[in-house]
Amino acid sequence: MLKAVQKNATKGDPQSVISAIDHYCRNKEWAMNVGDDKGLILDSVLTEVNPSAALELGTYCGYSTVRIARLLSPGSKLITVEFNPAFAAVARQIIAYAGLQDKVTLVEGPSGDLIPKLRERFGVKSFDFVFLDHWKDRYLLDTKLLEDCGLLQKGTVLLADNVICPGTPEYLKYVRSSPRYESRYYKSNLEYTKLEDGLEKSVFLG
């Protein structure tokens, strides 16, 4: 994937990096990026929220990191969390190739350990936007951890990938039944396939 970006994308042009990855993953080797179909929904929700402080759980190779960071207003920041050093190393290069390194802080380690430290380490008061795309059985745990750490404020938008495939049943049940969230499902398809998948947008009500 990184070679495809270096070969086919233009340095400093995030859209060309996104297109290079999508082309590679559609034609050469599937990978678990949010992809171009769900990516358009991510773009529109992000543009609507226009966050000054955004969090991504599960950087992987940085595809959604680039999608998010390219749409941030000047001065806004994205913190992305990844515990696999090999994936983090690739992501850093892809983020830098897109020229977005000044907007992105990639933190290496498990989300459960890092979330309670984000305030003291990065001076984050709270997040306006959270993209969940890491291990599916961590979505609910980490959402509750974000609540308990006071990192969500009234109006914070959580956007979760893969709520159908592979699926995140407990997380969905929680955000759809809790009076503290206003939740909505955006139907789409699993990246680079015709299978159904979708994103769940949940607004924290405080």
Ligand X SMILES: Cc1ncnc2c1ncn2[C@@H]1O[C@H](/C=C/CNC(=O)c2cc(-c3ccc(F)cc3)cc(O)c2O)[C@@H](O)[C@H]1O
22 is a site residue for ligand X (CB under 6 A)? no
Residue 90 Cβ vs ligand X, minimum distance, rounded to whole Å:
10
For ligand X, which residue of 110, 149, 186, 189 counts as binding (CB under 6 A)?
Answer: 110
* Nearest residue (CB) to Mg ion, 13 versus 43: 43
CA–CA gap between residue 1 and residue 180 (Å, rounded): 39
CA gyration radius for the chain?
Answer: 16
Looking at residues 184 to 203 of the shown chain, list those that interact with ligand X (rule: CB under 6 A).
190-191
Pick what 143 binds: ligand X, Mg ion, none; C-beta below 5 to 8 Å, kind-dependent: none
Question: Is 202 in contact with 173 (CB distance < 8 Å)?
Answer: no
Cβ at position 138, least distance to ligand X in Å: 5
Give how far Cα 180 sits from Cα of 67, 90, 95, 126, Å: 28, 37, 34, 16
Torsional sign, CA 65, 66, 68, 74: positive
Which residues form the catalytic set?
Answer: 133, 136, 161-162, 191
Q: How far is the CB of 13 from ligand X (least distance, A)?
A: 24
